[in-house]
Structure 1
Amino acid sequence: MQNLNSKTLNREEYPVKILQFGEGNFLRAFVDWMINKANKEIDFNKGVVIVQPLENGLVPMLKEQDCLYHVKLEGVKDGNPITSTEVIDCVQDAINPYSEYEKYQQYFLSPDLELVVSNTTEAGISRVENEDIYAKPPKSFPGKVCQLLYQRYEHFNGAADKGVTFFCCELIEKNADALKEIVFELAEQNNLGEGFTSWLNENCHFCSTLVDRIVTGFPKDNIKEIQSELGYEDNLVVVGEYFHLWAIEAPQVVREKFPFDKAGLHVVWLDDMTQFRDKKVRILNGSHSAMTPVGLLSGHQTVMESFNDKLISDFIQNMVSEEVSPNIAGDPEALKQFADEILERFYNPYIKHYLKDISLNSTSKWITRDLPSVIDSLKRTGELPKRLTFSMAALLVFYKGEYNGLTFSVTDTPEYVEFIQNEWQSDKSTDAKVEAILSNQQVWGVDLKAVDGFVEKVTEYVNAILNDGIKTVLEKVA
């Protein structure tokens, strides 16, 4: 079997116009896949250079394969299974700015540079105390961006046409706004001048985006079989679902410059992300967060396993239709269609989307994704939504770490997990334990006792789960 590189596979060469901060599976199977599609379909003609945000990463492996790799997509479309595999050749180079700073600098000072894409994780867009923006390179991602833009501003004497557009893919609300805010703070702290900040405001675009595609990553369980199908020893294969969605908040000039939607890609351009994000977070992410503890307590390992359990699929479908969607602004039929498309993905027979992975940091996820629907439903109907409230009870039992002979590895802020599990191990009554846990505003970030009747109803469900079993309670609430 041949190694995958530019000698064994004839690749296209594209002018480097995009810097990508992040070399992980998601960006390579989502953004680079889209750029690749656009290059083939609409003569987009843009190459990518991947920048490794941290000192250690995948750059050596990417270079071994001349930045070539395959993306294998598997999913369900209109009820039918669908698969596709294609080689990604839009990535022209990959660099580690910590060991190749001068080369990195050459790329971000290139007159051809148009776009910077990032996924530096939720922690990436953050402040570093006493950030040195003159380091080679600065430590934080915003520090790198501030340095990049200031050097570019000086190098081109503030030329209006040398501004850069940013598409942020980090999973935080208004991700590009957060990046821009820190960049401007750094500019002010370092006295970079009003000319620079005016250039930023007038010639650079910071575009918040919302991304959606499940990417399971490197298929270690069946990599030999996949490599045999490909005919190459590709050690950077990325597997993901067929479904994809990229919502981008951008002005018209940006939409015209990067017309991904013209390549048949599911890219939605928006003036304001708020309503669209609310819909996606509440329906898709809210369903994941509500289903995960219920599925794990029921002995399931993946989303599809859980959804093949009729009790759980009914629970989620009814939760979305009765307790989530009615609280979201918009046309009810369009919302129903959106929800149907989202929930169809849960039946994907190809993707092993592990519940334990979704359970990471569930305390903050539930508050962000599910609590707004609880509050809105309570206001709308005068009653607590039973399924959403039950999902919190299941979450508390999951954080106990064991249930009905099952043991769980709980991954969250260590002090939160320690507090919750210490409460569970105390001599208090179950009622007192649940009240103590839900009353801890440090864990939840909000006062859950302020939600009328919520603590009492969650306590009732927790007792029922412990005494009668998850299945019995689920039969009553589904």
Structure 2
Amino acid sequence: MAAGGGPVTGTVPRLSPTTVDVAHRPDTVRILHLGPGAFHRAHQAVFTEDAGGDWGICGVTQRSPAVVDQLRPQDCLFTVLERSHTATSCRVVGTIRDVLFARSEPERLRTRFTDPEVRIVSLTVTEKGYHPDSGVITQLVDGLAARRATSGAPVTVLSCDNLTGNGNVVRSRVLDACARLPHGDALAAWVADHVRFPSTMVDRIVPATTDADRAEVRAALGVADEAVVVGEPFRQWVIEDDFAAGRPAWEAVGAQLTTDVAPYEAVKLRMLNGTHSLLAYRGALAGYDTIAEAVADPALADEAVKLMEHDVLPTLTVPDDVDITAYRKQVLERFANPALRHRTTQVAMDGSQKLPLRLLGTIRDRLAAGAMPVRAVRAVAAWMVYVAVGADRHGRPLPLDDPLAERLRAAAGAADAPRVIVDGLLSVGEVFGEDLPDHAALRAALVESVAELLARVADVR
């Protein structure tokens, strides 16, 4: 409930411990989180609060002070606006106790890294954040080196991004970075003995927050919250149980601890994320603003179903405790939630980083089995047309928010020549590797699908 006092935004007080009641506020920072964006706040921060105990979080933002500017005036409180098909609820979360901007506060960051009370360093930095030369990897290695030089206390590095074997990926990136340092062998040896890198699988749909969302929280709680995040009711977290220095009791509040995350991860990346990308690119080209609008199109819903049933399912080893038929149905039900207003262009971001994980693994596995994964190919073709044309069927521009944007647009060449588009984009090795460009049947199928999609866009425009 809102109360009086506290900083004021216009005529409405700002969210703070004096203007709302907070159920749980840990005293001690034990988790250092790199990338405290919307997904972390709607997922791991909520799981951690529900688990209870003294597990406060310090969020570290790398690229911009925006999250610091949102959270710090609110004593790091924020609201999760949960939207189902029929209801909306507001929840104020108090697990984050500190936030800092790494670029302008390096000493504070070093102090957090070296603090033996910090038991976990977690990450949500998106797929592109794991590039070997990324600032995140450098930041992580510098922090581990400082920890070794001071307390030497063991720590767990916990990746929560959509990467196959994300724990193994971050371990490999860290050790590779150590090898490039003048005295990196000693640091690598310490990391091997004192640092754990469990893999995880995370799932919750978290669309971008809008002014309307902030206004809804203001009306519901009577306070202004500049750090609102929006999420669906569903949430899932599968975690490899390999921690160096303890962890919250996440399993008590719905997280699943396991010895092998890989099969759960493959189900989610290929079935849910792959279908999400299909709907994002096909939907955006068709002029749909949201994923819910796209899946309401019978033709696109049929494509989504057939992608999961005919292309993805044969490539999976489904865990014994997963009802895959129910899972497939649930995926489409979640996507159909109109209250989320999850934009197709948001899901379409960073396609060069996402396609290898979400669709190309499925394509490789089906080709190896002698089958052509028609719907997965069409999804990749839709991405190619999205890149090449940059507009939907109504002529509205489609943003290409991708770390390889300039290179992709140049590779796509003529926007009305299917073979030029396919040949150019297949040549981008960071996306398609060396094997897929040499597969003649795949290339032909992509050219056919690109031509079909270009004709649809041109016919309406």
TM-score by length of 1: 0.82
Provide structure 1 residue ranges, at least 5 long, that are not aligned to the other structure: 129-138, 473-478
Contact 1:23 1:59 in 2 (8 A): no
What is the letter of the counterpart of residue 437 of structure 1? G
Secondary structure of the corresponding residue to residue 329 of structure 1: coil
Match of 2:118 in 1: 113
Secondary structure of the corresponding residue to residue 243 of structure 1: coil
Contact 1:164 1:204 in 2 (8 A): yes
What is the letter of the counterpart of residue 22 of structure 1? G
How many angstroms apart in 1 are the aligned matches of 2:35 and 2:295? 32
Query: Cα deviation per residue 1:272-304 (whole Å; 9 max; x = unaligned)?
Result: 333222211110111122222322232211110
Deviation at 1:358, TM superposition (A): 1.9
Contact 2:208 2:342 in 1 (8 A): no
Contact 2:412 2:422 in 1 (8 A): no
Change (3 A) 1:259 1:13: closer
How many angstroms apart in 1 are the aligned matches of 2:393 and 2:247? 56
1:18 aligns with 2:27: no
Query: Cα deviation per residue 1:112-142 (whole Å; 9 max; x = unaligned)?
Result: 22111122333433444xxxxxxxxxx9333
- Select the residue among 215, 225, 247 that pairs with 1:224: 215
Q: What is the 5 A alignment of 1:21-420?
A: 21-39=34-52, 44-54=53-63, 56-75=65-84, 81-128=86-133, 140-156=135-151, 158=152, 162-188=153-179, 189-191=181-183, 194=186, 196-251=187-242, 257-263=247-253, 265=254, 267-330=255-318, 334-380=323-369, 382-398=370-386, 399-402=388-391, 404-411=393-400, 412=402, 413-420=404-411
* CA RMSD of superposed structures (Å): 3.1
Secondary structure of the corresponding residue to residue 127 of structure 2: coil
How many angstroms apart in 2 are the aligned matches of 1:364 and 1:103? 31
Change (3 A) 1:471 1:167: farther
Change (3 A) 1:435 1:151: closer
Deviation at 1:215, TM superposition (A): 1.3
Secondary structure of the corresponding residue to residue 217 of structure 2: helix
Deviation at 1:378, TM superposition (A): 4.3
What is the letter of the counterpart of residue 236 of structure 1? A
Secondary structure of the corresponding residue to residue 397 of structure 1: helix
Change (3 A) 1:83 1:470: farther
Contact 1:441 1:447 in 2 (8 A): no
Query: Cα deviation per residue 1:18-38 (whole Å; 9 max; x = unaligned)?
Result: 111223111111111111111
Secondary structure of the corresponding residue to residue 323 of structure 2: helix
Query: Cα deviation per residue 1:227-285 (whole Å; 9 max; x = unaligned)?
Result: 1101211111111112112222232777x73320112x2x2223233322221111011
Change (3 A) 1:354 1:299: same
Query: Cα deviation per residue 1:367-395 (whole Å; 9 max; x = unaligned)?
Result: 43223333433454x44233333334433
Contact 2:45 2:96 in 1 (8 A): yes
How many angstroms apart in 2 are the aligned matches of 1:450 and 1:187? 35
What is the letter of the counterpart of residue 60 of structure 1? D
Change (3 A) 1:404 1:151: closer
The answer to which of 102-111 and 279-288 deviates more is 102-111
Query: Cα deviation per residue 1:314-342 (whole Å; 9 max; x = unaligned)?
Result: 22112211222122123697222222222
Deviation at 1:155, TM superposition (A): 2.5
Secondary structure of the corresponding residue to residue 18 of structure 1: strand
1:433 aligns with 2:420: yes
How many angstroms apart in 1 are the aligned matches of 2:452 and 2:205? 34
Provide structure 2 residue ranges, at least 5 long, that are not aligned to the other structure: 1-11
Query: Cα deviation per residue 1:77-128 (whole Å; 9 max; x = unaligned)?
Result: xxxx454321111222222344444443433333322111122333433444
Secondary structure of the corresponding residue to residue 31 of structure 2: strand
How many angstroms apart in 2 are the aligned matches of 1:383 and 1:123? 31
How many angstroms apart in 2 are the aligned matches of 1:415 and 1:378? 30
How many angstroms apart in 1 are the aligned matches of 2:459 and 2:275? 18
Larger radius of gyration: 1
Secondary structure of the corresponding residue to residue 257 of structure 1: coil
Secondary structure of the corresponding residue to residue 198 of structure 2: strand
